[in-house]
Every structure is written in C-alpha cells, then in structure tokens.
Amino acid sequence: MRLSTKSRYGLRAMFDMAYHAGTLPAQIKNISRRQNISPRYLEQIFQDLKKGGLLKSRRGPQGGYFLSRKPQDITVKEILDAAEGEMALVDCAKSGKGCKKTCEFDNHCVTQQVWDEASRLLNEYLGSITLKDLCDQGKTMGMEKELDHRFMYFI
C-alpha cells in the first residue's frame, strides 16, 4: 500500500493550517510556500477536503481556508479518507459502497482475514491521531510558528 501525494500533501497542509493559523483563515500562497507544494495542486486537494467537511473557505482580503472544526476534533484518518477514499490494504478489505469484490476467492480465502484485520488496525491507529497531536509534536520538535502578517498592526 502506498499513499498518493494528494493524501500526504493534504495532511501536511492541514497540519500547517492548524499549527500556523489555528482558527484563523490561512492563504494558499503561505501554505504552499511553507510546505513546498504547488498552489494549484493545493487548490485541488482543498476541494476534496472541503467536500469531506474538514475545511471551509472565506473570500476577500481577510479570507482564505480554515478548519471546519478544532484541531483536536480532526483525525489523520478523516483527512486521508477525504483525500484518498477509504483506507484498505487490499480491495477485498474495503467495506464501503461500490467496492467490487472481484476476487474469485471472496469469503473463501484465509488471507482475506489477515488483510481485513490489518486494515482495521491501520484505520484505528490513524483515527487515534489528531491535528492537535501533530501540532504538539511540532512544538516538541522546535518548529517555529510563522505569524500571519495580514494581522500585524503597527502604530
């Protein structure tokens, strides 16, 4: 199993928003610069994350994208599911609608149980990690927070 850049970049961008902007809107150009991800590709990824209910957007000079919920309420699994679809190690371990079980050994294969359990454990683990956990880890690693210059006022 290998995650696509869409899900990996989506997770990095969501972390970036939680870490640097918190509940304030974040602009694509800033996320793109910090994470070295194409702004055009980020826009595509953010559309999937919006459809998944993880992001909202606001237009205008003080606009941008922002998290739809608090960082402690958004899991890595939710982000990967919104970007990638249901996480399963093999197709026969998928439980979602539209999963075609094309294997001739479906329900008669001893290894299918292995893949089902491994997929369940992976999803359980990814569901236990929140954006807040990643932010806490970033602080522990000594990552500097970048202040948003749109909100800096000088007198």
pLDDT at 89: 79
pLDDT in tens, 35-74: 999 999 999 999 999 999 999 999 888 789 999 999 999 9
Helix (H) / strand (E) containing 56: strand 55-58
**Residue 26 pLDDT level (bands cut at 50, 70, 90):** very high
Sequence length of the chain is 155
Q: Are strands 55-58 and 64-67 parallel, antiparallel or unpaired?
A: antiparallel
pLDDT in tens, 69-101: 999 999 999 999 999 888 777 777 676 544 455
Specify the residue for token string 């958004």. Answer: 74
- Tell me the mean pLDDT in the region 133-143: 94
- Tell me the mean pLDDT in the region 115-136: 94
Contact 50, 60 (CB under 8 A): no
CATH topology assigned to domain 5-86+130-144: Arc Repressor Mutant, subunit A (1.10.10)
Domain boundaries, the chain: 5-86+130-144
Q: Please give the model's pTM, rounded to 2 decimal places.
A: 0.84
Cβ neighbours for 26, distance < 8 A, ≥ 6 positions apart: 16, 17, 20, 64, 65, 66, 148
pLDDT at 1: 63
